[in-house]
Amino acid sequence: MPLPDLEARVMDQAGLLTEPEIQSLTAKLKALEDRKGSQLAILTVPTIGDVPIEDFSIRLAEKWKLGRAGVDDGVILIVSMQPRRIRIEVGYGLEGPIPDARANRIIEN
């Protein structure tokens, strides 16, 4: 599965969101970045193929390089329709406030 280039804060390649939803999410992510400095992005894809979502998300994070240099405080929310998977990939700088267990609870709720 080729990794997409980062073109926007919200990239809805699976067509799950309406344009107003994309605009609203984009504005919220920008406001959070302006307030806290952390960079967040959302990617929806129709498929990740047979690649485990953990591997896909790590490779995507390495490609996109979200977060401030030296702080590594980026977050990516990835939604795959096939197979049906959701993952929150958290940069090292946010692993204290958002450990894997908390990210999993966010997804489950």
Phi-psi region of 29 (alpha: psi -120 to 50; beta: other; left: phi over 0): alpha
The pTM score is: 0.93
For 10-108, the fitting CATH number among 3.40.50.2300, 3.10.310.50, 3.40.50.300, 3.30.420.10 is: 3.10.310.50
The per-residue pLDDT for range 33-70, each reduced to its tens digit, is 999 999 999 999 999 999 999 999 999 999 999 999 99
Task: State the amino acid at position 99 in one-letter form.
Answer: P
Count of helices and strands (H, E) across the chain: 3, 4
Please write the tens of the pLDDT for every residue from 18-37.
999 999 999 999 999 999 99
